[in-house]
Structure 1
Amino acid sequence: MTTTPSLADGTDSTGPADWREANQANWDERVPIHLRSSFYDLPAFVAGRDSLQDFEPDEVGDVSGRSLLHLQCHIGLDTLSWARRGATVTGLDFSGPAVAAAGELAGRIGADTARFVTADVYDAVEALGGQTFDIVYTGFGALCWLPDITRWARTVADLLTPGGFLYLAEYHPFADVLSEDGQAVEHDYFERGALVFDEPGTYADLGAQTRSNRTVEWLHGIGEVVSALAAAGLRLEFLHEHDHGHFRLPAGLYVPQVYSLRAVKAR
């Protein structure tokens, strides 16, 4: 991000009353920009390019024949990358235009069993009719849009079958407090209030002309995430930190840029 955020009125976890509406308007407007961007490169994806980070398939393991739910799936590239590996996938996102685009993309690549559902992540259990999954997957840039990680972890636990697991791959919260060049700390790692940004464009096209530019986000430390999962009854199998994979930071910084974890629900 290129501008300094302002703290929302008050410093509780909920943020401004319209945080969800502001964020949804922002994402809805950016869907067509992302679909035509070189960042997502849909022609290459349709031709067979994989959108997952190099370590993700190895850490998740064989997904053939397993049911996988992707929370906050956006336009579905990661969801469909798991489908190409044999999983029966469901993608869920609060943006109707994103879900429509994901469904169209599934048709283009022949992922006939993939389905996409429009719902807020906190409403996922109800929206999916109580269905549970072998794997719940959450990819990069998702948790910053959620004010309540404890509620998120409980939702994940409710969506897993006994013996199923969460796989989370996310931008490292340390990297998120760094400047664009990675050389300075710009934000407080321990800030837990809502952060309000007002920025035109999008990470996929910085020069794009946009109108819905206000977003509300939250920083979540690794300790906060792991503790929430433990409180929800999930057992941590591993937590790995990686020195590459951040969309905006250069390589060779010798700092953790992303992290991944797997947490299992008891049988």
Structure 2
Amino acid sequence: MTKNPMPADWLAANRANWDGRVPVHVASDFYDVAGFVAGKESLRDFELAEVGEVGGKSLLHLQCHFGQDTLSWARHGATVTGLDFSRPAVEAATALAERIGADTARFVVSDVYGAVDALDGRTFDVVYTGLGALCWLPDIARWARTVAALVAPGGFLYLAEFHPFADTLAEDGRTVEYDYFHREATVWDEAGTYTDGELSPTAATVTVEWQHGIGEVVSALAAEGLRIDFLHEHDFTVFARFPVLKHDRVFRYPEGQPGVPLMYSIRAGKPA
């Protein structure tokens, strides 16, 4: 973990960094925009199975980046709204929607905590949050309160995330090196982003992240009156996080060797 000084405004620092990532990501092989436009699925199989049929439903994607997952839900029949704090991301998402003819897709500029006001108090059948989102938020109780306000009666939140236990492991993927209960901000000052193997240069290099335990997330949702339909811990992940992992469509520990949870998913419903 780094020892860099905390910026005066964590939200502005993170936004500047993600603004800079947008053109790099849109042009990257990692996101393969051309393939997506041609019909490539960006959602993971387990997400599609756990969310279920979305045809005719309204779906809000929080922290949507430039909209590939949002628009994949639209392809499955949902009426989608994507929300992200990066204006360049929202502009890229809007352009992508036009390219694929997703005429009813809407994208809104806002940070998560301002989502209720940004969306004029509207509620949704499904509120979806995808991989790598919660680490950018300092206050999970406030996040859960926001989510609960955005879910329509009878609707649900679906969250898919990287498992926080995996964040305790050293680079070998075997040794516990970091504290699972670390809750202070971690400040990184690193050029580049995760696309295409090599780190691509970005001008704004400082980011601030937080770790949130499984119990913290579940308890925050339950405290807002959402019913936990399931919490699934997955023995796979979607990228080569550790060298020990073997790839067969997904990445997991070799058969016969001890493994740890690498991802998790939660569905939490709001009573009708």
TM-score by length of 2: 0.91
Q: Do residues 131 (structure 1) and 122 (structure 2) align?
A: yes
Long gaps (5+) in structure 1: 10-15
Q: Do residues 5 (structure 1) and 10 (structure 2) align?
A: no
Deviations 1:142-184 (A, max 9, x none): 0000000000000000001111100000011011222344233
Matches within 5 A, 1:54-65: 54-65=45-56
In structure 2, which of residues 215, 239, 247 is the aligned counterpart of residue 223 of structure 1? 215
Please provide the CA RMSD for this pair: 1.4
- Name the SS for the 1:55 alignment partner: helix
Instruction: Tell me the amino acid that sits aligned with residue 113 of structure 2.
Output: Y
Q: How many angstroms apart in 1 are the aligned matches of 2:121 and 2:41?
A: 30
**Residue matched to 1:240:** 232
Quote how far apart the aligned CAs of 1:187 are. 2.1
Deviations 1:208-252 (A, max 9, x none): 122211100000000000000000110000011112224342333
| 8 Å CA contact 1:90, 1:114 repeated in 2 | yes
Q: How many angstroms apart in 2 are the aligned matches of 1:37 and 1:139?
A: 19
Matches within 5 A, 1:91-240: 91-205=82-196, 206-240=198-232
Long gaps (5+) in structure 2: 246-250, 254-258
Q: How many angstroms apart in 2 are the aligned matches of 1:8 and 1:54?
A: 40
Q: Do residues 252 (structure 1) and 217 (structure 2) align?
A: no
| 8 Å CA contact 1:8, 1:194 repeated in 2 | no
**Residue matched to 1:17:** 8
% identical equivalent positions = 67
Whose relative contact order is higher, 1 or 2, with alpha carbons under 8 Å and at least 6 apart? Answer: 1
**Residue matched to 1:79:** 70
| 8 Å CA contact 2:126, 2:158 repeated in 1 | yes
Quote how far apart the aligned CAs of 1:85 are. 0.1
TM-score by length of 1: 0.93
Q: How many angstroms apart in 2 are the aligned matches of 1:244 and 1:125?
A: 33
- Number of residues of Structure 1 aligned to a counterpart in Structure 2: 258
| 8 Å CA contact 2:58, 2:80 repeated in 1 | yes
Quote how far apart the aligned CAs of 1:186 are. 3.4
**Residue matched to 2:268:** 263
